[in-house]
Chains A and B, each alone.
Chain A
Amino acid sequence: MAAPSAAGLGRRLRAWLPRIMPVRWSRYNPSYLEPEVKKESYQKPLEELTEEEREQMELKAVQPIKAAPPTLSSSVFSDPMISKFTNMMMKSGNKVLARSLMSQTLEAIKRKQLEKYHKAPENEKETIECNPYVIFHQALKNCQPIIGLSNITKGGKTYQVPVPLTDNRKRFLAMKWLITECRENKHRRTMMPEKLSQELLLAFNNEGPVIKRKHVLHKMAEANRAYAHFRWW
């Protein structure tokens, strides 16, 4: 029996819908489009759109659209780095707790900095940064390693070879180090927002154990320079 034509199969939507419809991790039919969340794109009047944008709009009117993931937000205050960090702090799917810890951390950073700001003399007031988001981003940037180590086995022995890191990997390592540092090396009874705010403020000033760990990694990479030619990518 000849199978129905491939073009027809591609055009037609899924014929069989199972009772529980897994949505984001399933394979969507390729005709499904991504959802558009930004308010600005809907507020542009028709005349300002270029030809391709007009075509895009008409396509969206007919084609089906994927379900928006819960992390996608149209709020002006949403920040992808903060969401990523919250997800990494989350344990067993408890996003409510992780998000409240994150907001308490940001508030704790703001309070500490504001207290310092109000007590400081006039000429020093400009140097004190009170925006918790700026502190968070700068602290993460300071914690990101430039070069990493990778295990390469050659001739039966495993060597630690210095290797360049992608941006994603750097961000992931910075966040991971911050979270593990807070979880493991602090007193059992301190609350997470307190620990995290302290670590972020230290990292913002290029001090603290996370920056030290980054420097240790850099030194190891420097020490193992000889094996750099083992890398083949």
Chain B
Amino acid sequence: FALFPPQLDHGCALHVAARAGLSSVSTQDVPAERPRAVFHTSESDPAKHTEQHEGRLYNIPLEEVKAVFPHGLPYRFQQQIQTFNEARVMVRRPALEILAYLKGSNFAHPAVRYVIYGERGTGKTMTLCHVVHYCSRQGWLVLHVPDAHLWVKNCKELLPSSYAKDRLDQPLQASVWLRNFKTSNEHFLQEIKTQKKYMWGKRESTEEGRPLGEVVEQGLARVRSASDAVGVVLREIKQQSHRGSFRLLVAVDGVNALWGRSTLRKEDKSPVSPEELTLVHNLRKMVRNDWSGGAIVTTLSQTGSLFKRSSAYTPHELLGKEGFDALDPFVPIPVSNYSPREFESCYGYYLERKWLQHEKAHTEDGKAELQFLSGCNPRQLDRLAGPL
């Protein structure tokens, strides 16, 4: 059926899903699924997910999971992958919305920022992972920061930066991120070449025109300069993205960490503000919309945040004035609890995989009780179904 690609201008962001819903109702029926179950779909390419697949679960092959998500999946989901031996992600409306915007956006314009927000446990990180999977299938370069809060708290080693005197380096976090970045974007690291000569300390340097993989190797080998290596990688990618040889997706989970406070302290016990950290400083530059040829998809997160009320979930509350001004203008994408159809689908999946073992869980009473106790919240449902 004809789905006219909407041009995403900054002026008017039309709600694509409404138009897509109208067109699909008139044409074909639900495509013939395998007799496995109504709530599964055999379409494992996110590019082909439409309104018809809403509420269904699609499978990601395990090799792809290891390649695309070396980091970034929630811990409970990773446990679920291990227990069920498969990775099934539900296709939900916020993700479909972002995918439609991405499909129709003009990459000559500056990058559009999408902020996924919602209450606790509604599926913001999983929406982000769905978008990341789509972009990596399309061949984009994916810059995935699994949780920005990990960079502003619980840091064991803080080194003074060699590049700028008043900044602080975090070698461990930077090297972990570089390793995962290397796993997910192997082929890009050979294609992108550096445009400047970089000096690592007094003796080592990377010449102009060398592949970016060398910078990453340098950062992994010399852990002291890992944060600077991350800065170089981000800078190079940003400068070269407008050329059009690759599309860039910046996916940051917990972006409110970049503008909040941190619990780190310097050696003289004075508090460290996030802009004094090299990693945060460079990531803030990445999230600004002064480059073109890609998109920035971010998530707000209250769970790991510092010094924020536990009931805060709106962008203004979590980002604060500074963060909101820095991210403004952005496209807000709200994520809510399961709709009745999505709940049925999730419940059916748990039954099919034998996750709900209690004999009463198979009855109507048990299902009603699960719905009531969890309030259709995905995380609560997962937590409740665990011991049952």
A110 at interface, CB cutoff 8 A: yes
Give the distance to chain A from B101, nearest Cβ to Cβ, in Å. Answer: 38
Are the C-beta atoms of B79 and A77 separated by less than 8 Å? no
Are the C-beta atoms of B83 and A111 separated by less than 8 Å? yes
A103 at interface, CB cutoff 8 A: yes
Bin the interface of chain A by size.
Answer: 10 to 19
Query: 1/0 per residue A33-74: CB within 8 Å of B?
Result: 000000000000000000000000000000000000000000
B388 at interface, CB cutoff 8 A: yes
Which residue of B has the minimal Cβ distance to A129?
Answer: B357
B334 at interface, CB cutoff 8 A: no
Give the distance to chain A from B127, nearest Cβ to Cβ, in Å. Answer: 25
State the majority secondary structure of interface residues on A: helix
Q: Which of A77, A114, A115 has most chain B Cβ within 10 Å?
A: A77
Are the C-beta atoms of B387 and A103 separated by less than 8 Å? yes
A75 at interface, CB cutoff 8 A: yes
With a cutoff of 8 Å between Cβ atoms, the chain A residues found around residue B83 in the complex are 111, 114-115
**With A114-B83, A115-B82, A115-B83 known to touch, is A77 a contact of B388 (CB < 8 Å)?**
yes
A133 at interface, CB cutoff 8 A: yes
With a cutoff of 8 Å between Cβ atoms, the chain B residues found around residue A103 in the complex are 386-387
B187 at interface, CB cutoff 8 A: no
With a cutoff of 8 Å between Cβ atoms, the chain A residues found around residue B360 in the complex are 76-77
Docked CA distance A107–B83 (Å)? 11
How many residue pairs link A and B with beta carbons under 8 A? The number is 47
Of B56-64, B167-175, B304-312, B361-369, which binds chain A?
B361-369
A106 at interface, CB cutoff 8 A: yes
Are the C-beta atoms of A110 and B357 separated by less than 8 Å? yes
Q: Which of B84, B354, B369 contacts A77 (CB 8 A)?
A: B369
Docked CA distance A104–B366 (Å)? 20
Q: Which of B85, B366, B387 contacts A102 (CB 8 A)?
A: B387
Q: Which of A76, A114, A117, A118 contacts B365 (CB 8 A)?
A: A76
How many B residues have CB within 8 A of the partner chain? 19
Query: 1/0 per residue A155-193: CB within 8 Å of B?
Result: 000000000000000000000000000000000000000
A131 at interface, CB cutoff 8 A: yes
B358 at interface, CB cutoff 8 A: yes
With a cutoff of 8 Å between Cβ atoms, the chain A residues found around residue B387 in the complex are 102-107, 110, 132
With a cutoff of 8 Å between Cβ atoms, the chain A residues found around residue B355 in the complex are 110, 114
Are the C-beta atoms of A133 and B386 separated by less than 8 Å? no
Give the distance to chain B from A94, nearest Cβ to Cβ, in Å. Answer: 18
**With A77-B369, A106-B387, A107-B387 known to touch, is A118 a contact of B85 (CB < 8 Å)?**
yes
List residues of A (68-118) whose CB comes within 8 Å of B's CBs.
75-77, 102-107, 110-111, 114-115, 117-118
A130 at interface, CB cutoff 8 A: yes
Which residue of B has the minimal Cβ distance to A131?
Answer: B357
Which residue of A has the minimal Cβ distance to B365?
Answer: A76
Give the distance to chain A from B384, nearest Cβ to Cβ, in Å. Answer: 9
**With A111-B79, A111-B83, A115-B83 known to touch, is A76 a contact of B363 (CB < 8 Å)?**
yes
With a cutoff of 8 Å between Cβ atoms, the chain A residues found around residue B361 in the complex are 77
Give the distance to chain A from B78, nearest Cβ to Cβ, in Å. Answer: 12
Docked CA distance A131–B362 (Å)? 13
**With A106-B387, A111-B79 known to touch, is A77 a contact of B85 (CB < 8 Å)?**
no
Which residue of B has the minimal Cβ distance to A106?
Answer: B387
Give the distance to chain A from B211, nearest Cβ to Cβ, in Å. Answer: 41
Which residue of B has the minimal Cβ distance to A109?
Answer: B387
Docked CA distance A103–B85 (Å)? 22
With a cutoff of 8 Å between Cβ atoms, the chain B residues found around residue A106 in the complex are 386-388
Are the C-beta atoms of A76 and B366 separated by less than 8 Å? yes
Are the C-beta atoms of B357 and A130 separated by less than 8 Å? yes
**Chain A residues at the B interface, C-beta cutoff of 8 Å:** 75-77, 102-107, 110-111, 114-115, 117-118, 130-133
Residue pairs across A and B with Cβ atoms less than 8 A apart, 18 shown, are A76-B360, A77-B358, A77-B360, A77-B388, A103-B387, A104-B387, A105-B387, A106-B387, A107-B387, A110-B357, A111-B83, A114-B83, A114-B354, A117-B354, A130-B357, A131-B357, A131-B358, A133-B358
- Top 10 closest pairs, chain A to chain B, by CB: A103-B387, A106-B387, A107-B386, A131-B357, A76-B360, A111-B83, A107-B387, A76-B365, A114-B83, A118-B85
